[in-house]
Each structure stands twice: as C-alpha cells, then as structure tokens.
Amino acid sequence: MFARHDLVWLTSRGWQRVRDGAPQAALSALDRWRDGGWPAVVRRTEAGMLPGEVAIGFPLPPRPEDGGKLKFGCAVEMSDIGRRTRALPLVGALDAVPAQWREGLEALERQAADAGVSLSVYGSVALAALTGQYYLTPLSDIDVLLQPQTRRQLMIGLDLLSWHAGILPLDGEVVFPDGRAVAWKELRAAFAGAPGTRVLTKGLDRIALVLPEALMATLEEEHG
C-alpha cells in the first residue's frame, strides 16, 4: 500500500507518461530529474483517478532568478513504478543540512533511536539530501515524520520533537499505523486542550477531522 511522502522511481514508460502530460516549461527540469535518477513523491489521491493509479509529484527546486517554485503533479500506473521506499530516514539527511542544524538534528536522531522511535524527513530537507540541489534557506522548516507503533513511542516522540523545536525549526506530522497523519504540533496541542478537540488528519484518499482517541486506538499497548 502506498502512503503520502513515499519515494518512487519510475520506469522508462513511466517517465514517458510524465513527459507527455507535463507543461513545456517543466520539461527541462523534469529531464534533469530523470537523468539524476531522483525519485518522485507520492501525494494524496485526486478525484477522477483510475483504479491502479498513483498520484505523484515533483517538487522542483526554487528558480535561481526569482526563488519561485514549480510543482508538477500527475498520476502514473503502478506498473510505471520500478521501485518504492518509504520517506527518507532522518539519519540519511544529516549530511545535507546546514551546519547550524546538524548538531541538534544528530542529537534528536540519536535520542529517538535510543528510545526505539522512528523519525523520517520530507519536504526541503529530504529533497536536498536526495538530489543535492538547492532547497534549503534560512527560512526553511525541517519537516519530520514521527511514525509510532505504540503509545509509548508516540508520547516520547512528541516530547522529543517539542523540546528540540526550541532550538530547531521543526515541523511535520505524526503518521499512524493506518496511514492517517496529523501535524504533530496540532496533536500535542489537542492533548493539552479541551476534551473533544478534534484534529485534522490527512490520508492517501481523504482529509477528515477526528478525535485524537481514534488515532490512539490504532497504536499498540506496551505491557511489562
């Protein structure tokens, strides 16, 4: 099953389909992407897509002349995908981040690993690490994915992200085992807020407001 932020590498046929549907202004950048061997990113399914299709996007780097970003998205068939991985693990992005972030991110990654908590990255940090292109600026966020399997991992992960957000520009989501994701800052605020507070969840197929308890029910309890 595919999930938002998955990374996919296309076959030759897949690239041809992408080029056939792309605007002329994007072709040069897309060809460079293809020739670099870089992945596309799985995004939320759109209305009108056929069974067996996967929505993907190419978040192209900012244009040097004006800083504008050209984002191109399309749908491909599953047979157009040659390889897929989940989002890039945080440890795989450490060498790509600015020096002023590295020590803090290394500490976050180490503490999370020691606690058995899985952290990945997406957005500008992941794209910089995957492509070597210019994505990061002093105003960039660090988009982190916390992917807990247990309630303990969730609470430890939220505490770690909250503490390190005091020294790093951390943002991102918690992704629950059923694929639904919620901004980790929103979830943490809901836990501290009034009973009945709902949070906005994003899945591959839909967006919905839900109670945090419904998300917590997808996590395993740890005993002993």
* Whether residue 114 lies in the annotated active site: no
* Whether residue 141 lies in the annotated active site: yes
Q: Which of 35, 80, 141, 205 is catalytic?
A: 141
Please choose, from the candidates 30, 102, 126, the residue with its C-alpha nearest in 3D space to the C-alpha of residue 72. Answer: 30
Please choose, from the candidates 216, 201, 213, 104, the residue with its C-alpha nearest in 3D space to the C-alpha of residue 160. Answer: 104
56/39 Cα distance (integer angstroms): 10
Q: Which two tokens stand for residue 117?
A: 């908590």
CA distances from 168 to 75, 132, 143, 164, 182 (A): 35, 21, 11, 6, 20
Q: Which helix (H) or strand (E) is 186 found in, with range?
A: helix 184-192
φ, ψ dihedrals at 199, nearest 5°: -125, 155
Q: Which of 80, 95, 143, 205 is catalytic?
A: 143
Contact between residue 18 and residue 66 where contact means Cβ atoms under 8 Å apart: no
Computed on alpha carbons and rounded to an integer, the radius of gyration of the chain in Å comes to: 18
Q: Which two tokens stand for residue 154?
A: 């969730």
DSSP assignment of 188-208, as one string? Answer: HHHHHS-TT--EEEE-SS-EE
Angle (CA) 92-97-99 rounded to 5° is 130
Tell me the catalytic residues. Answer: 141, 143
